[in-house]
Structure 1
Amino acid sequence: MVEFDANLNPIEPSGPINFNQSPTSPTPSTPTTPPPVFTQPTPKPPTNNYLVKRLVDLVTLVVIVGVVIGAINMFGNRVSNPTQPEGLNVSADATVYATPDIAKVTVGVNKLANTVANVEKQVTDISQKIKDTLTTLGIEDKDIKTTNYNLYPEQSYRSNGTSTVTGYRAQHSYQITIRDLNITTDVVAAATKAGANEVGQVVFTLENPDSKLAEARKEAMSKAKDKAKQMAEDGGFRIGRLMSVNEYNDNPIPLYDGMGGGEKVVAPTPEPGNFSIKVTVNLTYQIR
C-alpha cells in the first residue's frame, strides 16, 4: 500500500514489501442479544374458595332476576286487572214483591201391561183424554208440554241370577201452564178424573220476571249512587266517573203448593201468595 506525504508525494517504504501478507481481518462485531422469550404460566386448577365464590355470585344473580320479574308481574297485574279497580266501592240492594201470574203443575200416566202394544195403547188413550179435558177448561195446546215419556220392561229376578220379563211399563208426563189461577184446583181435579195417576206440586211463579228485576235494579242503583255521594261529602273528596258495575240478583223463587199424589187425592184450594225479588249492585267510582 503506497502512502503519501503532506505534499502528496509518495513515501518510499522503509523495508521490503511482503506481497503474501494477508489482509488485516476486520474486527468482528458484537453479536446481537436475542429478545427475551416469555412463557405463559401453566394455569392452576380452581380452588374450593373460588368455586364457592362463583356459586354465590350465580345464586345472587338468580335471586335478583326473580325479584325483578316478580315486581314486574305484580305491577302489571295491578294495572291491567279490571276485576279489582281502585277507587270508591259502594254497594246497595233493593227488594220488590210480586204476585204470581201463572201456575205450573205436572200430571202423568203410569201403566203396566203384558205387551208393549197394550201398554202403549192404554197410555196413549188416557193421555189424549187428559188433553181433551184440559182443553175444555181453556188450557191451550201450547201450555200442555210433554216433559217425560218412558217405556221399559218390568223384570223379576231369581236367586240364581237370571231374570224374567213380567210386563212392560209406560210413563207419560205433561207440564201444564195455568194462566187463570182461579181454575188451578179445577185443572188438577179434571186431570186426575181423566186418568192421570201421577200429580206433582203446583208451582206459582212469574211468566216474565224481567220487569220486576229491572224495578229492583233501578232502586238499588239509586241507593248506591246516593250512598257514594254521601260518603264523598263526609270524606271531603269528590267522586269521578263510574268505573265498574256488578249486579247480583235472587231469581224469583217459585212458591210450591202441597198438591200431589195418586188418582184418589183431593187437591186443596191453592193460595198463590207473594214472593220477593232482591237485586244487589256494587259500584266503583274514581276518586278525584
Structure 2
Amino acid sequence: MKKLICLALALALMLSLALPALADKDVEDMSKLVITGNAVISLEADTATLEVGAQTRGKTVAEANQDNIKIIDAIILEVEKLGIEKKYITTSNYNVYFEQDYSVVGTAQSLINGSFVVNNMLRIKINDITKVSAVIDAASAAGANNIHGLSFQSSKYEESYLEALKEAVLDAKTKAEVLALVNGMSLGRVLKVESLDTNSYNYAMNYVGTMAKEAMDTTILSGNVLVNATVTLTYELK
C-alpha cells in the first residue's frame, strides 16, 4: 500500500512539473506571428534566347549526319551575318536514332524500311531583341526545321530582384503590424527570415515546332519580364 501511495505521489509531482513546461511552450508558440510578403517588378525585356536546329534522315548515320551538318553550318553562317557572335551560338542537343517504318495492310503490320535520324539543336542568345524575327527567318531560310524555346530576359534582373526582396520584406512587415495592432499587441524582434527564389521569364513562343523554309517575316512581341520575390518573416509578439 505504501508503495502505491509513493508511486502516486511521484506521478503527481512529475505531472505538476510537466504542466508549466507545456503551458510555457503554448505561450511561446502563441507569441509568434508568421507572415508572408510579396513583390513583383516588371521589366522591359532586352535579351532573348532561342533554340533552332535541323532534323535529317538517311539510310546510314553518315548520310543523315552529313545533310545535318550542311544545314547547321548554313544556319550559323546566316545568324552570324546578323551580328550574332559565335560565342553566343552553342549546341544544346544532339542525338541519333534509328526510326522504323511500317506498312499496315488490314490488321497486319510489317516492317518495310527504316532510316537513321539526326537531331542537332543550337541555342542562340540574342542581345538585341529587335533581331529576334530576323534570326528566326534567317535560320528558316538556311534549312532549320526545328525552332522552339524562345524566351525573353532582362539584363537588369539581378539588381531588380534585390529591390523586389526589399519590397517583399516591407510588405510582410506592414501586414504584421496591422495584424498585431488589431489583436492589441506589438511586434518584437524578427526571429526568422525565409525567402522563396522564383525565376520568371516571358516565354513568348514556348514552342514553334517544325517550320517550313517559306515561313518568313515572323512577327514576335517581346513583352515584359516579371521579377517575383516572396519572403516569410517570423515575428515575436509583445
Give the TM-score of the pair, scaled to structure 2.
0.75
Task: Choose the corresponding residue for 1:170, options 77, 97, 118.
Answer: 118
Paired AA for residue 45 in structure 2 = P
CA contact (8 A) 1:259 1:267 kept: no
Paired AA for residue 265 in structure 1 = A
Distance 1:268 1:177 in 2: 18
| Post-superposition offset of 1:269 | 2.0
Moved over 6 A (4+): 158-162
Task: List aligned pairs for 1:1-288, cutoff 5 A.
Answer: 86-157=31-102, 163=111, 165-207=113-155, 209-248=157-196, 250-257=198-205, 259-263=208-212, 264-288=214-238
| Post-superposition offset of 1:152 | 2.0
With over 3 angstroms needed to count, the CA separation of the structure-2 counterparts of 1:158 and 1:95, relative to structure 1, is closer
CA contact (8 A) 1:91 1:280 kept: yes
> SS at the partner of 1:202?
strand
| Post-superposition offset of 1:185 | 0.8
CA contact (8 A) 2:147 2:208 kept: yes
Equivalent residues, number:
217
Distance 2:160 2:93 in 1: 32
Determine what percentage of the aligned residue pairs are the same residue.
Answer: 28
More helix by share: 2
Deviations 1:12-38 (A, max 9, x none): xxxxxxxxxxxxxxxxxxxxxxxxxxx
- When the two chains are superposed, the root-mean-square deviation of aligned CA atoms in Å is 3.4
> SS at the partner of 1:142?
helix
- Of the two structures, which has the highest relative contact order with CA contacts closer than 8 Å and spacing of 6 or more? 2
- The residue that corresponds to 1:25 in the other structure is none
| Post-superposition offset of 1:181 | 0.5
CA contact (8 A) 2:136 2:218 kept: no
Instruction: Specify every segment of 5 or more residues in structure 1 that has no aligned partner in the other structure, as ranges.
Output: 1-56
Distance 1:232 1:158 in 2: 74
More strand by share: 2
CA contact (8 A) 1:209 1:252 kept: no
CA contact (8 A) 1:85 1:243 kept: no
Give the TM-score of the pair, scaled to structure 1.
0.63
Instruction: Specify every segment of 5 or more residues in structure 2 that has no aligned partner in the other structure, as ranges.
Output: none
Distance 1:246 1:86 in 2: 19
Distance 2:117 2:218 in 1: 30
